Amino acid sequence: MLNSIAKYFEFDERNTNFRKEIIAGITTFVSMVYILFVNPNVLGVSGMDKGAVFTATALASAFGCFMMGFIANYPIAISASLGINAFFAYSVVIGMKVSWQTALAGVFVASVIFMILTALKLREKIIDSIPADLKAAIGGGIGLFIAFIGLSDGGLVTANKDTLVSLGSLHVGTTWLTIFGLLITVVLMSMRIPGAIFIGMVLNAILGMVTGLIPLPHQWVSSIPSLKPTFGVALSHIGDINSVQLVVVVLTFLLVTFFDTAGTLVGLAEQAGFIKNNKIPRIGHALIADSSTMLVGSVLGTSPMGAFVESSAGIAVGGRTGFTAVIVGILFILGTFFSPLLTVITSQVTAPALIIVGILMAQALKSVHWEQFEIAAPAFITLVGMPLTYSIADGIALGFITYPITMIAARRGKEVSAMMYGLAVVFVIFLWILNN
């Protein structure tokens, strides 16, 4: 049995084993489990039932992880995309005064279009057309982005109206918990200890509970919240999408998810060493997994799903096959029963892991031809655009718009593919739509 599983997931070919894959799966899950609590809170402001969203998020995530694991054989987990869930709740429902039921129908329609584009292999062609330098910049940019999230969530940096950001308060206990977790993980990583990131998170959580900075769970098991308030609502409200405004909403869901997920997949594939000759093997299978998960998620009752950047934590500790994603999927299902226990995984526990992963992902930047300014400029704009706009998709948009301009200026316009020229135009429209 175990030999068959190892053979199916190509353990030998990818130099991995059950121990590495299980630790990687647990590490990825621990790094992203916050989404089970964040997503219901974000979508809850739109009037959606938080309990139903919690269950929908868990089940859709499990489905996506199983799809990514078994079909694509990638160590990449799928869950509700951060940022676009806020767009769903605050911009569409509250800002445009669209009911959450209609907004959910918009997600369903966007996911159907998503699947059609995937079936036509258009998404795969777009990803393959991205120059190697920009692929590396995307990987490094995602690293900076998630490191910034870790620094912010852990309290090491904070917003400041005068300087935009500044050093967080060192008089707050939870900030010191982040510092402890970061230091212990840095030491473990430097000592080449297997599973250093996961061990660091465990030790950090234990210290937090011992010191009272992290509350102990009041109970171990809880019943699974019902899906009834949201299940199938998207299907029954498709007819509500009957105006230009709602068509724009659907297109925005489509564009943001399209490029956010594409960027994440490229960055994670770069980190895992999957990219060969500027091609990502089985990328089509991975795209089928995420587009079908978005469809299932909309039916269950949650905002758009996509490849989760925190998968980089599992990849960093050795995850190289779809078995990592399968472990994450199993844990998402178990998480619906043990939700009170998961509350000990606070942002101060996951923050050090995100910072370390950011360091690891930044290694991709060594592949960028920095000595060629026409390459360095769009790569740098992509790199800094992600953390500074707090959006992977926006960072990609800014870099991809710049790329053909600098290449033409350097009299290298013929080296730019027709697809990249087309993407530059699409991104200009994309940014215009988001800012209107």
Task: Report the 10 Å Cβ neighbour count for 436.
Answer: 6
Residue-wise pLDDT for 247-296, tens only, equals 878 877 887 777 778 888 888 988 888 888 878 888 889 989 999 999 99
Amino acid at 201: M
- pLDDT the model gives residue 110: 92
Range of the structural domain that residue 349 is part of: 2-434
Q: Which helix (H) or strand (E) holds 322?
A: helix 322-335
pLDDT band at 180 (very low <50, low <70, confident <90, very high): very high
Nearest to 419 by CA among 136, 137, 140, 124: 124
* Cα separation, 288 vs 66, whole angstroms: 12
In order, the DSSP letters of 242-301 are -SHHHHHHHHHHHHHHHHHHHHHHHHHHHHHT--BTTB-TTHHHHHHHHHHHHHHHHHHT
* Cα separation, 186 vs 195, whole angstroms: 12
The token pair at 271 is 């980190």
- pLDDT the model gives residue 339: 67
- pLDDT the model gives residue 92: 84
Taking residues 3-8, report their average pLDDT: 91
pLDDT at 239 over 70: yes
Into how many domains does the chain fold?
1
**Residue keyed to tokens 């031809």:** 369
Task: Report the 10 Å Cβ neighbour count for 237.
Answer: 18
